Structure 1
């Protein structure tokens, strides 16, 4: 199982893209939440409210998620990174694998 993290400028765009990834069976599920973000941009410190997304998928689908996020993302340089999980409940892992494969979920 792999966790992919990214941020969006607003809730609507986050939901739109995450639902798209879900319908394409690239991810099994997502969580979206509001975050206060601070970062360097154009040589100065910026601060915004963004919407972060945690995307849960299989290791086999990880690169496909990255590719689609880059295609769909509104930011010119989106934060997209993954974290491989060490321990996952076996029932949850089986559900996740079934969800991202073309079997009935």
Structure 2
């Protein structure tokens, strides 16, 4: 197991309850060991104009080999037409934490 075997996968919602529900569903399915939900402000281009909105960002800690399954689960359960689903590789992390992520995610 190396650091490169892990990802942080991010999505956003316009509703805190939906963000928390998705976080719980993903963890319950063992597609991520944990999820962090926190408020952000997004500025983005949509339907021909710049928009600004409050959103709830969710970061999922998972193994890289679960990325496709996690992305499909997020897309299936998301309310946005085009949800953000971005995976960022972990370049460093404590061995104990990464071992925990590995142990708490699906085989």
1:71 and 1:81 map into 2 onto residues whose CA distance is 15
Q: Where does residue 89 of structure 1 map in the other structure?
A: 94
Count matched residues.
102
From 27, 32, 35, the equivalent of 1:22 is 27
- In the other structure, the counterpart of 1:5 is 10
Structure 2: where are the runs of 5+ without partners?
Answer: 1-5
Match for residue 60 of structure 1?
Answer: 65
Matched, 1:70 2:75: yes
Q: Which of 44, 48, 51 lines up with 2:49 in the alignment?
A: 44
Cα distance in 1 between the residues matched to 2:105 and 2:76: 20
Equivalent position of 1:100 in the other structure? 105
**RMSD in angstroms over aligned alpha carbons?**
0.9
The runs of 5 or more residues in structure 1 that have no matched partner are: none
TM-score under structure 1 normalisation? 0.93
Q: Deviations over 1:54-90 (max 9, x none)?
A: 1100011111110000100100011110001111110
1:100 counterpart SS class: coil
